[in-house]
Amino acid sequence: MKSKSTLESIIFLLLFSFSLYAEDGYKLWLDYKKAPEPVLTQYRQQIKNLMVIKGSSTLDIAENELFKGVTGILEGHISAVQNVEEGTVLAGKFTDLQNVIENDFSDKIKLAGEEGFVISSEQSDGKNITVISANSDVGILYGVFHFLQLLQTGKDISNLDIVSSPKVKIRVLNHWDNLDGSIERGYAGNSLWDWESLPGKTDPRYTDYARANASIGINGSVLNNVNANPAMLTPEYLEKVKVLADIFRPYGIKVFLSIKFSSPVNIGGLETADPLEPTVQEWWKNKVREVYSYIPDFGGFLVKANSEGQPGPQNYGRTHAEGANMLADALKPFGGIVMWRAFVYDNNVPEDRAKQALNEFKPLDGQFRDNVLIQVKNGPIDFQPREPFHPIFGNLPKTPVMMEFQITQEYLGQSTDLCYLAPMYKEVLDADTYAKGKGSTVAKVIDGTLEGHELTGMAGVANTGSDRNWTGHLFGQSNWFAFGRLAWNDQLSSEEIADEWIKMTFSSDPKVVTTIKKIMMDSRENSVNYMTPLGLHHIMGMSHHFGPGPWVSRGRADWTSLYYHRADSFGIGFDRTPTGSNATGQYFKPVADKFANLKTCTDEYLLWFHHLPWNYKMRSGKTLWDELCLHYYAGVEGVKKMQAEWNSLHGRIDPEEFEFVKNRIEAQVKLAEWWRNSCVLYFQQFSKMPIPEELEKPTESLQYYQKLNYRDFEAK
């Protein structure tokens, strides 16, 4: 046997590692890696060639994707055919396929609806084929992506009978992107939109962005920050927006804009923005007409009004409904919608912040136009690591209410922490509001089935940016992915989604899949434990919202930590029972009683709803103080475990990705320790009780931890 020369071996190794490795995360979950055996052999027998019945740019995209995907996964050249043969994957509109397929599948296609698809194993002239069909072009594109996902995740494709359609209509990313390129609460670089070089110059990333979204069924993008710059609606910017809209369109993505309510004054030269003023109404009608002249399928407006300093109808003594309806009337003739945010609270209102939004919106139920959706954050405060579901869900039966999740990890370690958010999203979607008795889940409120609403939606505050890997942390991609998957189907489980994402992103090696899935599934609870266990909330550092800040006491009361944890020599927690703010009273029975009663309020919401003595006896038999400490320590231990698990994957995944995540988890351990040490020592000042003996004590003083700079904890 001839042995290779050293040089030859080196070259071989280099080439080998180059082709296998060098992953910078840009490809997301759309890498189309070669399928592992034995599925590869099966797929090669089942998929012989492809045929896409075209006729639009969307279908061209579908065809390219199918070729690209199948070629990658089967690692082989697949040819296009003009007529179906044995083993053809045939994609096309139902109307074009009807006569080709022996079975009548018109019932299935009806179920698929406007955007859904059918993927089924069929026969044509006695030949076995796989059909991807839909009523619309974009439905076929979604079907193609789903078919590729089946292959990427190693599913059996021999007997397919899939009908899939989205649970909600508007599946939209909210970009908090500013016109200067910065992103509010963005941790992955700058905005993807290069406003300066638009409209003249475009970036291939615009297309890749649209493709990634289409692959998970996202069909809308709000391009700019809800703290909106009125310049967005000027012709100068509309020309730029048009270019993006044109690029996104064939991918089924509509463009929406956030607007500033005072725009008629800011850019229109009017003296008022009063929604009942005819001149103001006229201004909006003209503006909307102008927007549609650039973008004929424009989606509509997202509005943050009378919230955190933003102007709104209340500046003129008008209600949210009057404000929203004015815009809705302007958009209606063009088919546009208004997404009006319910994130409103006012420091000058002497009421628990958690109650204010419902108080504000409840009396308006039934007053909104039919093209208005109320966009509600998952919980009543603000995207905290854990919140009970927002009491608005189920409480506005006559109004379509859409979900606002945060994908960007503002309060969950930003781009330093590995925190898989699907379990948090699911916790809220699966929560039962009891609005119409048992089974009235938040998911049913959102998907319109509870009250029979047609207009439905789910928004996710985006975590994307100019970073090469899109989301800062590689695992941030899983949250973008999970958001899209859940907006399409809120019945999927967190595990299923994690399983898909891991196989599509990393590999199908069972050890890799099991290990990463475990890490992901534990990650959110770890974060809750070292940040805000047992129902604590809003105790993060001021402004940056990254490190701990239970001591934050300056500035407006409802932006301090003291407002929320209320620690004193007696105990800790926010009494929201009938003896306190009675926020529990905003929920339907029996949820209200469940939260208000100590016997039934579960530990995870305990201090959200109750102020309890330090020596309160918990279910575990331990004191509240001891449990609090144990949770903080368990959080750090959880991250360390995650670290060991990740490190055990050395050599099994791409080295660049491996090192990247390893480095992030190292930073996360330090961040978690900082949170734990700060919070335990801070609260100990009030409890005056010792940290349970078995736990290792913080090495430094509270003052020391208090002085640390959060920037030193960010993963570099």
Of positions 109, 214, 226, 259, contacts ligand GCW by CB under 6 A: 226
CB-wise, 208 or 346, nearer to ligand GCW? 346
CB-wise, 343 or 506, nearer to ligand GCW? 343
Quick note: the x/- pattern for ligand GCW over 632-651, rule CB under 6 A, is: --------------------
Of positions 185, 622, 641, 652, contacts ligand GCW by CB under 6 A: 185
Of positions 187, 340, 343, 674, contacts ligand GCW by CB under 6 A: 343
Q: Is there a cis peptide before residue 350, judged by omega within 30 degrees of 0?
A: no
Q: Report the alpha-carbon distance of residue 543 to residue 414 in Å, rounded.
A: 13
For the bound state, the minimum distance from the C-beta of residue 545 to ligand GCW, rounded and expressed in Å, comes to 6
Just list the catalytic residues: 308, 382, 410
Q: Please list, in sequence order, all residues whose beta carbon lies within 8 angstroms of the beta carbon of residue 462, skipping any fewer than 6 positions away.
A: 173, 174, 175, 176, 186, 407, 408, 480
For the bound state, the minimum distance from the C-beta of residue 461 to ligand GCW, rounded and expressed in Å, comes to 7
For the bound state, the minimum distance from the C-beta of residue 343 to ligand GCW, rounded and expressed in Å, comes to 5
Residues 162-181 that bind ligand GCW (CB under 6 A): 176
Tell me if residue 61 falls in helix, strand or coil. Answer: helix
For the bound state, the minimum distance from the C-beta of residue 318 to ligand GCW, rounded and expressed in Å, comes to 20
For the bound state, the minimum distance from the C-beta of residue 433 to ligand GCW, rounded and expressed in Å, comes to 22
CB-wise, 185 or 640, nearer to ligand GCW? 185
Pairing of strands 79-80, 457-461: unpaired
CB-wise, 29 or 343, nearer to ligand GCW? 343
Q: Report the alpha-carbon distance of residue 141 to residue 399 in Å, rounded.
A: 32
According to the binding rule CB under 6 A, does residue 345 interact with ligand GCW?
no
CB-wise, 155 or 185, nearer to ligand GCW? 185
DSSP character at residue 412: T
327 close to 291: Cβ distance less than 8 angstroms: no
Q: Contacts for 279-282 with beta carbons within 8 Å, 24 or more apart?
A: 280/326, 281/326, 281/329, 281/330
498: Cα separation from own chain's centroid: 14
Residues 268-307 that bind ligand GCW (CB under 6 A): 304
For the bound state, the minimum distance from the C-beta of residue 226 to ligand GCW, rounded and expressed in Å, comes to 5
Of positions 184, 277, 329, 604, contacts ligand GCW by CB under 6 A: 184
> DSSP H helical segments within 586-648, as ranges?
591-596, 606-609, 624-647
Neighbours of 694 (CB within 10 A): 7
Residues 378-437 that bind ligand GCW (CB under 6 A): 382-383, 410
Q: With contacts defined by CB under 6 A, how many residues of the chain interact with ligand GCW? A: 11
Based on C-alpha coordinates, what's the Rg of the chain?
A: 27
Of positions 49, 227, 449, 597, contacts ligand GCW by CB under 6 A: 227
Which of 247, 217, 47, 253 is closest to 117 using CA atoms? 217
> Which H/E stretch holds residue 123?
strand 117-124
Residues 244-263 that bind ligand GCW (CB under 6 A): none
Pairing of strands 372-377, 127-134: unpaired
Q: Report the alpha-carbon distance of residue 515 to residue 373 in Å, rounded.
A: 40
For the bound state, the minimum distance from the C-beta of residue 421 to ligand GCW, rounded and expressed in Å, comes to 15
Tell me if residue 255 falls in helix, strand or coil. Answer: strand
Quick note: the x/- pattern for ligand GCW over 308-327, rule CB under 6 A, is: x-------------------
DSSP character at residue 99: T
For the bound state, the minimum distance from the C-beta of residue 174 to ligand GCW, rounded and expressed in Å, comes to 9
691 close to 697: Cβ distance less than 8 angstroms: yes
Which residue in the shown chain puts its C-beta closest to ligand GCW?
382
Neighbours of 327 (CB within 10 A): 28
CB-wise, 310 or 507, nearer to ligand GCW? 310
Pairing of strands 88-93, 300-303: unpaired
Residues at the interface with ligand GCW (CB under 6 A): 176, 184-185, 226-227, 304, 308, 343, 382-383, 410
